[in-house]
Amino acid sequence: MPQRALALAVLCAVSLMVVLDGSIVAVALPAIQNDLGFTPSTLAWVVNAYLIAFAGLLLLSGRLGDLIGRKRVFSAGLGVFTLASLLCGIAQDQTQLVVFRFLQGAGGALASAVVLGMITTLYPEPRARAKAIGVYSFTQAAGASIGLIAGGTLTQLLDWHWTFFVNLPIGAVALVMAARLLADDRGPGLRGGTDVTGAGLVTGGLMLLIYTIVKAEEYTWADTRTLGLLAVSLLSLAGFVLRQAKAREPLLPLRIFRVRAVSGANSVMVLMVAGLFGFQFITALYLQRVLLLDALSTGFAFLPAPVSIAVMSLVFAERLNHRFGARTVLVTGLSVVALALGLLAMVEADGDYATDVLPALVLMGVGFGVAMPALMGQAMSGVAPTDAGVASGLINTTQQIGAAIGTAVLATAAASRTGSLLTEGAAAPEALTSGYRTAYALSAGLLALAVFVAAAVLRNRKAQEAIVA
């Protein structure tokens, strides 16, 4: 295998490992709760601590890659992530696990923020780049579903500690391979004038925004605490934007938003991930609480989705982008995903996996498998090489914001609908299913809005040229 292909394999393997971590741990949460004595409210911080650090540091990590070298940032993040995985696996109490999960999120942000930028530099030829982005997109698109399978298997056959220990051999091998295969790149360095103020504003603002979103389910959106935290986070982010307009060496050069594809792709990413990340959470609950599948069976129930994604993203995505243009492929793919969510919005309490869930998972994999590479390609199109790291960090940041919004909004909507029906005396399976149908309908609406934005904002000819011409 050529060295460049091996380098791509290392980058995608690490990206997959980081994406997997979010869902592989989710399946193990009940076992973690029983072992370490978490309450239902404190258990959420096993997930939230990782999410806050990961989402809050992505943008800063991407810019650091542009300034001091993407290989350095990637290797440092991979080392931190691997060490933190070990510490999570041997954690003896709740505080240790939450702290180490935050550290793991920080390492994941450093490593994953620069991957897409490194791929675009590694593959300057448009057709080769499109294929490479297809491989990378598969890790992003299918990683969460694979994580559910791996999490169910490891938790049921071994124990929850192995959901963290599994990262150790992968991380160690990837560190050695990265040192040998990835080219050294030297940015201008920090001495050129690092925007420390901007870094503080955006990192603090993003962390507080994600914290506010994940706490909104507990406080409710109308609570004064939620509104106050939301106001502070938005003011911090607004201050960051003003700072970037005046800074001599901005952390996020606002010029990249003048590229229509970049602005449009990031807008679509938030909407798409908000609908799809919440879908995984809701579907796992439906399979376990209504169809009564165990953790292992639930994990394998998701298998058709990553298989479909793999076939479409690795085999057909590049050809379709080349033939029809990225916007056409993206709009079509997102429409198929919206259709799949619409089908799930009709599930019944006495439903059957083979007829009610499986067809939707296959459709979702087909649509997402072609939409994600087109979207990732547009997010990096027209970006100068000196800004590739921050553009990569930006699209990953919007992805995490979408995930946080989707999980909070859809979970709240489902719980609210279920609670109302239970109060009215409905049977638990019917009440739960009705709540899940509500969440699926909202997910379909978010995907429909993503289709509209993609069709209205993105331009097919430019997108196609950016990927294949």
For the chain, the structural domain boundaries read 1-194, 196-250, 252-468
pLDDT at 465 (0 to 100): 43
Q: What is the pLDDT of residues 439-466, one digit of tens each?
A: 899 999 999 999 999 988 887 654 344 4
Q: In the numeric block, which tokens belong to residue 57?
A: 């540091």
> DSSP per residue over 192-219, as a string?
GT--HHHHHHHHHHHHHHHHHHHHHHHH
CATH number of 252-468: 1.20.1250.20
Give domain 1-194's CATH architecture. Up-down Bundle (1.20)
Task: Kindly report the average pLDDT of the chain as a whole number.
Answer: 81
Res. 77 pLDDT band, cuts 50 70 90: very high
**What spatial distance separates the first Cα and last Cα of the chain, rounded to whole Å?**
26
Q: Which of 186-200, 361-375, 391-405 has the lowest mean pLDDT?
A: 186-200
Res. 64 pLDDT band, cuts 50 70 90: confident
Q: Which of 106-115, 180-189, 450-459 has the lowest mean pLDDT?
A: 180-189
Residue 153 reports pLDDT greater than 90: no
Confidence (pTM): 0.75
Res. 62 pLDDT band, cuts 50 70 90: confident
Of the chain, the percentage scoring pLDDT greater than 90 comes to 18
Res. 299 pLDDT band, cuts 50 70 90: confident
pLDDT at 419 (0 to 100): 84
pLDDT at 104 (0 to 100): 93
- Tell me whether the CATH fold assigned to 1-194 matches the one assigned to 252-468: yes
Q: What is the pLDDT of residues 225-255, one digit of tens each?
A: 888 888 998 898 888 888 888 877 777 777 8
Res. 141 pLDDT band, cuts 50 70 90: low
Residue 334 reports pLDDT greater than 90: yes
Q: Would you report the helix, strand and coil content of the chain in percent, each value rounded to 5?
A: 85, 0, 15
As a whole number of Å, the CA-based R_g of the chain is 21
**Helix segments in 158-259, DSSP class H:** 162-165, 167-181, 196-219, 224-246
Side chain identity at residue 269, one-letter code? M
pLDDT at 451 (0 to 100): 94
